[in-house]
């Protein structure tokens, strides 16, 4: 009887789409595409997912959204919906099998997500965190298991959202709102969940979709007019559909996401190891002097400076000069760093091995051109609370939420903007 009830229930759910009869253009098999471009990529680690495939008897893959060093991400139809209800789309993060060099457990992100998704829904920052709704595992074709995380489907990362504006500059009023939401999310992570995000960058702050029907439009477009594909061996490499075009109506609700590198900790405890993208990496992480919640604050300050100006505050590293930043760090920070000898003289911690990049040539005042006058001075004062050499001197997310610059409009009278340029290490 229970089996009959189950079959009746299944008959009332949304039906899977059939295999598309559209013929996709073929990509050149001699050229790398999508995840194949990742350093140290190996196909044995990545699950050979195919569009139209149903995972866990519930999620039918409709389009590919993107990829990372250890995963591919897909837009999927949730079939466990009454057939008279609207389609629901979710994001499926399909993780690759672990590498021997990975220090964190393979289920790290799932554990972090389960913790932060349920801890305190009453905290305002909870609303700005991407939620986990389901998870399961798939058997790997070449052994091992692939964890699958079912997450809210979102519109686009912040770097694409930025391009929606004239000349790629987000107006300062909108930037303040985005920053308030991000700080609320970080305050929730740090104060309530005791979690260090460890990888803040524009890719990992996403914007919610303004109209869920947009997902179905693009899923149907892929079904009827598939993007070019690369067929090789046992798999198809699909091109990502992650740009939904101009906004249908204003939106800007952020979701902090990607907790693969996140660290669960206790206040006062220091952690070591490589985290964060190079251009957003805190000095204590570069020197391996031990990091905690304040490493996220450094990344946030640099990230939003970049968003305001449309260019990087710090240049990416090069193989010849890795992880270089301007200005001289305090002796206490250099002395405590496990990797300081790579950058500074062992006998004199204040003497850099390569003095050229440490010249005093970085000035917030000279580098900021999108705002002027009192607005500019208030922003510089605000961002300097985050971009400080000493981690313990950086303001917390909760403290930053009290800064008046976030909530007021200030004069941009250029005539008043005559303050002399100062270097980053000046107060």
Residues belonging to the binding site for ATP are: 93
Q: What are the structure tokens assigned to 378, written together?
A: 């208030």
Catalytic residue, chosen from 78, 187, 199, 323, is: 199
Location of structure tokens 């391996």: 288
Judge whether 413 counts as a catalytic residue: no
Annotated binding site, which residues? 93
Separation between Cα atoms, residue 410 and residue 335, nearest integer Å: 41
Separation between Cα atoms, residue 352 and residue 340, nearest integer Å: 9
Separation between Cα atoms, residue 65 and residue 72, nearest integer Å: 8
Contacts 24+ apart (CB under 8 A), 96-102: 96/45, 96/46, 96/47, 96/70, 96/71, 96/146, 97/44, 97/45, 97/140, 97/143, 97/144, 97/145, 97/146, 98/144, 99/40, 99/45, 99/70
Which of 339, 129, 345, 150 minimizes the C-alpha distance to 254? 129
Judge contact between 175 and 307, C-beta under 8 A: yes
Tell me the CB-side half-sphere exposure of residue 298, using CA atoms within 13 A.
28
Question: Can you say how many angstroms the Cα of residue 46 is from the centroid of all Cα atoms in its chain?
Answer: 21
Question: Helices 294-309 & 172-187, crossing angle to 10 degrees?
Answer: 170
Separation between Cα atoms, residue 204 and residue 71, nearest integer Å: 14
Q: What are the structure tokens assigned to 355, written together?
A: 């003095």
Q: Which residues participate in catalysis according to the annotation? A: 199
């Amino acid at each position: 009887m229970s089996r009959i009830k189950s079959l009746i229930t299944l008959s009332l759910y949304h039906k899977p789409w059939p295999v598309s009869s559209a013929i996709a253009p073929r990509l050149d098999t001699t050229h790398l595409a999508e995840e194949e471009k990742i350093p140290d990529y190996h196909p044995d680690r990545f699950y050979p997912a195919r569009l139209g495939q149903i995972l866990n008897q519930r999620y039918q893959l409709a389009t590919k959204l993107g990829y990372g060093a250890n995963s591919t991400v897909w837009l999927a139809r949730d079939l466990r919906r009454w057939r008279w209800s609207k389609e629901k789309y979710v994001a499926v993060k399909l993780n690759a099998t672990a590498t021997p060099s990975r220090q964190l457990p393979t289920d790290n992100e799932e554990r972090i997500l389960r913790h932060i998704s349920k801890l305190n829904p009453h905290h305002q920052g909870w609303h700005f965190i991407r939620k986990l709704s389901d998870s399961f595992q798939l058997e790997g074709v070449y052994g091992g298991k692939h964890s699958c995380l079912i997450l809210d489907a979102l519109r686009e990362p912040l770097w694409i959202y930025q391009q929606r504006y004239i000349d790629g500059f987000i107006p300062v009023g909108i930037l303040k709102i985005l920053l308030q939401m991000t700080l609320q999310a970080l305050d929730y992570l740090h104060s309530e969940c005791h979690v260090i995000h460890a990888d803040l960058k524009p890719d990992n702050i996403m914007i919610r979709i303004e109209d869920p029907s947009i997902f179905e439009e693009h899923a149907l477009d892929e079904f009827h007019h598939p993007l070019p594909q690369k067929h090789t061996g046992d798999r198809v490499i699909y091109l990502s559909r992650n740009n939904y075009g101009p906004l249908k109506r204003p939106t800007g609700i952020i979701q902090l996401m990607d907790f693969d590198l996140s660290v669960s900790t206790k206040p006062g405890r220091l952690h070591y190891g490589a985290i964060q993208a190079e251009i957003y990496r805190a000095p204590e992480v570069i020197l391996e002097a031990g990091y905690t919640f304040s490493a996220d604050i450094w990344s946030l300050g640099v990230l939003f400076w970049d968003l305001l100006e449309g260019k990087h505050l710090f240049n990416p590293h090069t193989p010849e000069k890795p992880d270089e930043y301007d200005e001289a760090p305090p002796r206490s920070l250099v002395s405590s760093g496990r990797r300081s000898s790579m950058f500074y003289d062992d006998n004199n911690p204040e003497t850099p091995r390569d003095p050229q990049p440490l010249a005093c040539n970085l000035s917030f005042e000279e580098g900021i051109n999108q705002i002027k006058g009192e607005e500019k001075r208030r922003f510089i004062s605000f961002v300097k609370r985050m971009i400080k050499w000493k981690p313990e001197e950086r303001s917390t997310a909760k403290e930053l939420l009290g800064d008046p610059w976030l909530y007021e409009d200030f004069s941009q009278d250029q005539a008043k903007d005559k303050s002399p340029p100062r270097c980053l290490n000046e107060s």
